Amino acid sequence: MRRWDNFWLGLVLGLLLPLLFCLAYAHTISLQHFWQEGMYESLRPVIGRMLLLSTFANMAVMFLLYELNMWRLAKGLLVAILPYMAAAIVIL
């Protein structure tokens, strides 16, 4: 279990997990009516909310790793949350 406790593995996992969550979430909502209007301006709030929701999934995994005492892996996840939060702030 300790060999998986690696900062870089946590960083890669933290960057991929929100993307997978966004893809899974995007399949649950219908985006057809957004494509008919102004594309970027109408999708902007949806993308911002999806980014914020994906960071919550990342934070839940980080909490679980802290409970399992996998500190380095959790630190990598925490660092990976920062670009997603910054992007969500800029978009919203």
> Tens digit of pLDDT for each residue in 5-41?
889 998 998 899 888 887 887 777 665 655 565 666 6
Pairwise CA distance, residues 7 & 11, whole Å: 6
Q: How many domains, the chain?
A: 1
Read off the pTM. 0.75
Specify the length of the chain in residues.
Answer: 92
Domain range spanning residue 29? 2-91
Which runs of E-coded beta strand occur in 1-92? none
For residue 27, give the 3-state DSSP assignment: coil
Q: Residue 87 burial (CB < 10 Å; 0-12/13-18/19+)?
A: middle
